[in-house]
Structure 1
Amino acid sequence: MKEFTYVKAPDMDSALTALRTPGTQLVAGGTELLNWLKEGIEAPDHLVDITGLPLTGIGVGPSGQLRIGALARMSDLAAHPEAARERPVLAESLLLAASPQLRNMATIGGNLQQRTRCPYFRADTALPCNKRASGSGCAALQADDTAQLAIFGWTRECAATHPSDLAVALAALDATVLVSGADGERRVPAVAFHLTPEEAEPQHHTALGPDELITAVEVPGRPSARLSHYLKVRERASYEFAVVSAAVTLELTADDTIGSARIALGGVAHRPWRLTAAEEALRGTALADNDALRAAVAISFADARPLPGNGYKVQLAQRAAVRALRDAARRGGPGANGGSR
């Protein structure tokens, strides 16, 4: 690990000014950055500690909008009543992520900036990886084992998947990521915050500029968020990244027909993957009609491009989405969705 300078930013202006110096990285909880340093993924000249910035708050606005400071801890958000009661998909995604120790340290902003867990990206030895060294190739696509790779949005340059559980829930909730830089604040839809290799060179992971930082995440206040669920399929029950995951929000009519649904998948692309075609097809579908649910979800998989070793994800992801819809609906009852049921 190379030597670097360390300074604690006293305010936002200081942090943004420091970011204009090449070779500067921000550090907060450090649970991800420490991995990058040890694995040689990053080798900054300067570290700027932003834990003193006033970005830890979690609050609800007049319209029911939930505003989450970028430095709020994962465990604090998971325990917050607006997440646990009003947006269960949010709390579930956090409680199924990492370990309790990491959740007590990791921040919301840092979680969204995780890098892929592709073993070739994180390899100790110098294997070809376009995310680490542009133009070097993709060792994952040259290997026999492609089981964990993407089925949407990949190219021959990169077929990695994004690991954040929280990002999948935020995509289903139509959340917005607030970003500040030298040119002021801008708003990025959560579903567009992470970049696929189809949209940018693989080494560009997010829409965040080099001189920008996340200040907050805003989640709209919608009745559908109450009927929501996060389903995570993984190879073991504890501290494991998703093979496939599904985040769902649901609005039901009085006769158990789907009024609206939002579905985002994890483990299938380098960003949370919204099933927009399925969402449209699900409108007016009876929740009890399992065949209709499956057919509607399957529409969004017409563009799936599985690799030789990960075709199983196509069926697994569809089944996860249908099950998440049903699990979300079980949260219903008199008064669910603000009285629409």
Structure 2
Amino acid sequence: MSCALMAGGSLLPAQQAHAASASKSSSKAGKTVRKAKPASRTLRAPRKAVMAAAPARPSFGQIYGLHAVEDPLDLKSSVALVMDQETNEVLLSKNSQAVLPIASITKLMTALVVVEAKQPLDEMLTVTDEDIDTEKGTRSRLAIGTTLSRSEMLHLALMSSENRAANALGRHYPGGLKAFVTAMNQKAQALGMSDTHYVEPTGLSSRNQSSAKDLAALVRVAHEFPLLRELSTSKEHLVTLGRRQVAFHSTNGLVRSGSWDIGLQKTGFINEAGRCLVMQVQMAGRKLILVFLDSAGKYSRIGDAERVRKWISANPEVSAALPGISG
């Protein structure tokens, strides 16, 4: 078996306008579903059954046909990349050039910009109406008026993917949210992330887009910061909200399981992006970067990571081809 697995590595998506149009059409199609007026109350269909009849909005990867690209591991993610962190050698690649929405993987760049700005971690930040999600209408356990330290906001954004925490971090950047997004894009350019563009710090917007190869570069740099490693791989954190202590948990089941050696991670999900996951891991005695985008199914990104681990463990020539890494 070859040391590297490739599948559609050079495939690029269609124009974003096409995807947006198709996505809107799908959304409109879902809205045209109507319940037939029942003859009597006893014939009314259950609400859940009616809601289930509406078609789910397709991800951009589905619109582009990326899931039709086959790969040797039968991954459920339409985009995947496994790379040696030290040598940049690619062990597995599937549509790694495709540019897609990245959902809350965005928060990894948000955190990187915050720590590089060296803003005081003990400074208290307050959640305001400006942090309410008007993009997707998601809820949050951080009520308006909640005040936490910048460190805790970072922790919740990375570990629990808290959207209001991420937006509050952006608002409290010198120059405000607009300056923060500019800094995110400037950092992406400095890292050579030519496929990447951000419009806000949470990932709720489908206009936050990147490629697997770009995200691998981001993971490599973010892993250099001990604070980001610590906060992103935390399993649980207790936060004082008013008179209560509330437990927040990691969104990554592999972190919670404790069976993986994970140095840095971030998950993400919006309908347009599918399920996403990036990680730095120790595997087969090596330091690897794993990227999975647009995974179809609630647990499929976890399953894809397990498939990769099983494949590397079962094929000594994959890891033997890599030079030894100390430390």
Superposition TM-score, scaled by structure 1 size: 0.27
Q: Relative CO higher for 1 or 2, CA cutoff 8 Å, sep ≥ 6?
A: 2
Superposition TM-score, scaled by structure 2 size: 0.28
**Comparing both structures, which one devotes a greater share of its residues to helix?**
2
